[in-house]
A and B are shown apart, each in its own frame.
Chain A
Amino acid sequence: AQKVTQAQTEISVVEKEDVTLDCVYETRDTTYYLFWYKQPPSGELVFLIRRNSFDEQNEISGRYSWNFQKSTSSFNFTITASQVVDSAVYFCALRASGGSYIPTFGRGTSLIVHP
């Protein structure tokens, strides 16, 4: 079985603050894929990043960065110098390789960035 936990239901910050969204996952598989999606107020789900279990390098894309740590089964997402446009619900997802192609999503973290 696979599980994704996003313990932070809602985070509220003021613009320009840095914020980290936590994602902890569980799987028995050694090969798996992790994803982050953004759901802005308009409602669509936007793919942000994919990481496979063999690639533990952290990734940075502009103000976004992701910290993948297999030792703690975490794949955290940091937004540096947050902006109002970052306000959204963010979902972490896991797709393990054990014969299933089905992703499991966390319950999401609602990020509110105040001006």
Chain B
Amino acid sequence: DAGITQSPRYKITETGRQVTLMCHQTWSHSYMFWYRQDLGHGLRLIYYSAAADITDKGEVPDGYVVSRSKTENFPLTLESATRSQTSVYFCASSESMGHYGYTFGSGTRLTVV
């Protein structure tokens, strides 16, 4: 089925470990985004991408790395996880520069212990 899927849905990792959150969309949307959601902060943009091989930092990029070698995939890597990165992470995509809205994945709940 077409859509935007995130994996895993839940992840527990230890401080200092590297962890990668996956995001895959089947619409060939050019634009993709990673947000984190924390109580009291709403949705904060981590990284975004306008096309394959084009990525840029958002509001809270520190500690995260992204890549986009293919249009449909936009993985987010925490290079050395910290407890402050415990959060719910959402991937989103859009066509036409977001004129018609943004479609979100189901989220990944990450706990860093």
Footprint of B on A, CB under 8 Å?
A: 33, 35, 37, 43-45, 47, 50, 52, 91, 93, 95, 101-103, 105-108
Contacts and interface: CB of A to CB of B under 8 A. Distances in A.
B74 interface: no
Interface of B: 31, 33, 35, 40-43, 45, 48, 50, 58, 88, 90, 92, 94, 97-104, 106-107, 109
B41 A107 contact: yes
A44 B42 contact: no
Contacts, number: 51
A91 B35 CA distance: 14
Given A102-B48, A105-B43, A45 B99 contact: no
A33 B40 contact: no
Contacts of B43: 91, 105, 108
A107 B40 contact: yes
Contact of B33 (A50, A102, A107): A102
Given A106-B42, A107-B42, A44 B97 contact: no
Given A102-B48, A106-B42, A107-B42, A35 B102 contact: yes
9 contacts: A35-B102, A37-B104, A44-B104, A45-B90, A47-B103, A95-B97, A102-B58, A105-B43, A107-B41
